Structure 1
Amino acid sequence: MKRYVALLSMIAFVLFLAACGSSNDNTSNDSGDDSSEESEESRKIEHEMGETEITGTPENIVALEFSFVDNLASLGITPAGIADDEDSERIIEPIREKIGDYTSVGTRKQPSLEVISSLQPDLIIADYQRHQDIYDQLSEIAPTIILPSLAADYQGIVDSFETVAKAVGKEEEGQEVLEEHKSKMEELRSQVPEDESRTVLPAVVADSGYFAHNFESYTGSLLESIGLENAIQSGDARYNKINLEQIVEIDPDVMFHMVAGDQTVVDEWKENDLYQQVSAVQEEQVYEVDRNMWSRFRGLISSEQILEDAINHLYE
C-alpha cells in the first residue's frame, strides 16, 4: 500500500513538473514570436526602379538628396549619412534643429559608395535623376529605394514622403504628419487674397545665367498650390536658362531670386534699360531668397518655410 501511494505521488509530481515546463515554454514562445514578428516584419516598397523588400525597422539610413533628409526629419529620424555636398551649412536651420550628428557621404551628384558602405546602412534613399545609374551598386550595399526629387513637382515630393514613411515603418505616423502639413498649407493659402492676379517667377540667378523655374517645377508648383500663378505656363523643361529679352517678354509681376554667388547676371542687367522695363522691377517686387531653402531642399518642412517666406514678402 505504501509503495502504491508513493508511486502515485511520484507520478503526480512528474506531471506537475511537465505542466510547469509546458507553461513556461508556451509563455517563452509566445513572447518570442511576437517580438520576432515585429522585428522581422517584411514589406515590399514600390519605387522608380521596381520593388525593394525591407525587413524590420531601418535604423542606419543614408539619404542622398536633401528632400529625403526633410522627409526623415519630419518623421523624427536622423539619417546616419547625408549627401550634403560636403557642406553642412546647406542643411537649412529648421531641419538642422531636428536632426543630430550625421556623416557626410559626399556630394549629391557623386556620393561616395565607400563611405556609404562603411556606415553599414539598412536603407538607402536615392534620387531617380541623379542615382538611377548606380542603383545596382547601392543595392549591393543595402536595400535601396529610388524616388523622384530633383525632377519632382510639389505633389511628387508629397508622394515621396508617403513612400519614405512606409519604408521606415512609420506609415501611420507619416499620415498624421501629412495631415498636419495639409492643415498648415490651408492656413497659408488663406493668407493669399482671392483676387491675387500677379504672376510670379522663381529663379536661380548665378554668374553663369538666369535659371527660371516654370509652373511644373517644385517651387513653381508649390507657389501655384496657394494661388500664386507662375509667369511661365509652358515649356518642356521645368528649369529653363533664359536671357534678358525673354524675361522682358514674360514680364513677371514678382520675381523671387535664389542667389548663387556674390556676383550674378542680374547685377549686370540692373544697368540695362531692358531690365528696367520688367514689371517686377518697376514695382520693386524683386526679392532675394535663400537658395538652399527655395531650391535645394524639397519637402514638407521646407515647403511650409518657402510659402511663409513668400507671403511675408508679398503681404507683410
Structure 2
Amino acid sequence: MLLSGVMVPAPRRAAPRHRIRGGAVSPVRVLVTLAVAGLVSAGCASMSTTPVDSDGVPRSTTRIVGAPVLGVDREPGDACGPEAPLDPGASPSLDAERIVAVGYSALDTLCALGLQDRVVAVAPPAGTAPLRYLGGWAAHAPAVGTAEDPDGSAVQAARPDLILVDQQDAVDAGLGAPRTRTVTVPTAGPWEVTVESVAQAVGRDAAARAMIGRFTDTAATTGHDIAAAQTQASVARFTSDSLGILGPSSFAGQVLQQVGVHRPPAQRFSSPSVRPVDGDDLAALEGDVLFLSFAGKDSGDADAGGHTPALRHGEEVMDSDAWTSIAVTENRTFTVDDGVWSRGRGLVAAREILDDVRGSLNAYG
C-alpha cells in the first residue's frame, strides 16, 4: 500500500469474494477480478520509476492509495480538436475572437471545437483545481476573480466580445462593455445541452451536434463490445472531509449510461447528482468495479494535484476496517482523473471517461 508517499505493508485481507447468483459464481465478476488483478500487478512493476513531487516526496503516478490510476498515458496537450468552421449560414457576429468564461462549464466545449486560443480570461469556481485534462491553456488562463465573485473591471480589461457564464453562478450580466454578448451556460440536466449551448454561442451548433452524434455511436458500440450491460459500476469521490456517490444524473453517471454500464441498486437514485456516504456504512459502494476520484487529484505524468486534502482523507478511510470489509476493494478499485469524472462536462471529458471504461472493462471484449 502507498500511504502518504511511503510504501508500507498492505493489511492482510480475506481472499476476494464473489457474490453467488442462482447458486453459481458470477463469471462477470471473476473476469473483472482477473483483469484488474493484472493491472494491479502491472502498476506495482512500474513503481521503480516513481517521480518526485514538488515537495520532494516520491509519489506514484500508476497507483494512488493502492488503486491503479486510469488515464496516466493521456497527453493533455492533445485534448483539443482542430478549429471547427463556423456553421453554414451562421452570422459572422457569432464568431467570437475574445472569450471570457465565468465558471468552468464552457471550457471543455471550446476545447473540443478548437477555440481554446480564443479564451482570454477565466473566472474559476472558488477553491477548485484547474481542469488540467484540457491542457496548459486551461490551467494557466488569466484569472478575473472567481465564478461566484467575478472582477468586472478585470473582465472589461480583457476586452471580450463574448462572456460565457455558468448558470449556477448567476452573476450580473453587465460584466463587459454594454455591447458585449453574455450567454448563460446550462450546468444541470443532460450534458449535451451544455455543449450545444456553448456551440450555439460561437456559431458552431452543427459541428457540435455532429461530434455528439459520433460520440453517442462510439459509446454504444464500445458498450456492446465490452459487454458493459453485464457490469455494475460504482462511482465515488473523496473530498477533504466527505465521501460521496456520483449518481446517474451526474456527468460521469450520464456517460456510463450511454455506454450501457449499470449501477448497483443503492446508486440508482435520480437526485441529487451526488449523495454522501453515511459514516462507516460503506455498503452502498459495492459493485463489480469502483471508479474513485479525489477532489483536485488528476492523472498525468506529474501526478497532478499533489498530496491533496482529499487524498489524505481517502488514505484514512481506505486504510480502515470498514473499507477493507467491502468486496469491491479487493483489486477492483480504479482511481480516475477528478477533473474528467467529477468536474468536467463536455465531449473531451466524455471521450476520456469512455477510454477509462474501455481500458478497465476490456476483459469482456
TM-score (norm 2): 0.62
1:223 deviates by 1.2
1:235 deviates by 5.7
User: If you compute each CA radius of gyration, which structure gives the higher value, 1 or 2?
Assistant: 1
Aligned-residue sequence identity (percent) comes to 21
Q: 1:163 aligns with which of 197, 201, 207?
A: 197
1:64 pairs with 2:98: no
Q: Which has the higher contact order (CA 8 A, sep 6+)?
A: 2
**What are the superposed Cα offsets for residues 81-123 of structure 1, whole Å, 9 maximum, x if unpaired?**
2234699972334x32788984322433333222211112111
Indicate the SS of the match to 2:293: strand
Indicate the SS of the match to 1:255: strand
1:74 pairs with 2:96: no
1:177 pairs with 2:211: yes
**What are the superposed Cα offsets for residues 14-58 of structure 1, whole Å, 9 maximum, x if unpaired?**
xxxxxxxxxxxxxxxxxxxxxxxx99948xxxxxxxxxxxx4422
TM-score (norm 1): 0.70
Indicate the SS of the match to 2:226: coil
Q: 1:273 aligns with which of 321, 335, 351?
A: 321
CA–CA distance in structure 2, aligned partners of residues 311 and 295 of structure 1: 18
CA–CA distance in structure 2, aligned partners of residues 206 and 171 of structure 1: 35
Indicate the SS of the match to 2:198: helix
1:308 deviates by 0.7
1:91 pairs with 2:131: yes
What residue in structure 2 maps to residue 19 of structure 1?
A: none
Q: Quick one: which amino acid aligns to residue 104 of structure 1?
A: A
Matches within 5 A, 1:31-180: 41=91, 55-78=93-116, 79-84=119-124, 90-93=130-133, 95-96=134-135, 102-129=141-168, 131-132=169-170, 134-138=171-175, 142-149=180-187, 152-153=188-189, 156-180=190-214
CA–CA distance in structure 1, aligned partners of residues 160 and 249 of structure 2: 34
1:213 pairs with 2:213: no
Q: 2:293 aligns with which of 258, 267, 291?
A: 258
Name the CA shift for 1:73/1:255 in 2 (closer, same or farther; >3 Å).
Answer: same
Q: Which moved more, 1:104-113 or 1:304-313?
A: 104-113
1:213 deviates by 0.9
Q: Which moved more, 1:58-67 or 1:259-268?
A: 259-268
CA–CA distance in structure 1, aligned partners of residues 204 and 348 of structure 2: 17
CA-based RMSD: 3.2
What residue in structure 1 maps to residue 32 of structure 2?
A: none
User: 1:213 touches 1:220 (CA, 8 Å); kept in 2?
Assistant: yes
**What are the superposed Cα offsets for residues 144-186 of structure 1, whole Å, 9 maximum, x if unpaired?**
111222xx24xx2212212222221223333333333334323
CA–CA distance in structure 2, aligned partners of residues 40 and 274 of structure 1: 57
Higher normalized helix content (fraction of residues): 1
CA–CA distance in structure 1, aligned partners of residues 238 and 102 of structure 2: 24
1:304 deviates by 0.6
User: 2:101 touches 2:165 (CA, 8 Å); kept in 1?
Assistant: yes
1:71 deviates by 0.7
Name the CA shift for 1:136/1:222 in 2 (closer, same or farther; >3 Å).
Answer: same
**What are the superposed Cα offsets for residues 206-236 of structure 1, whole Å, 9 maximum, x if unpaired?**
3311022111111112112212223311263
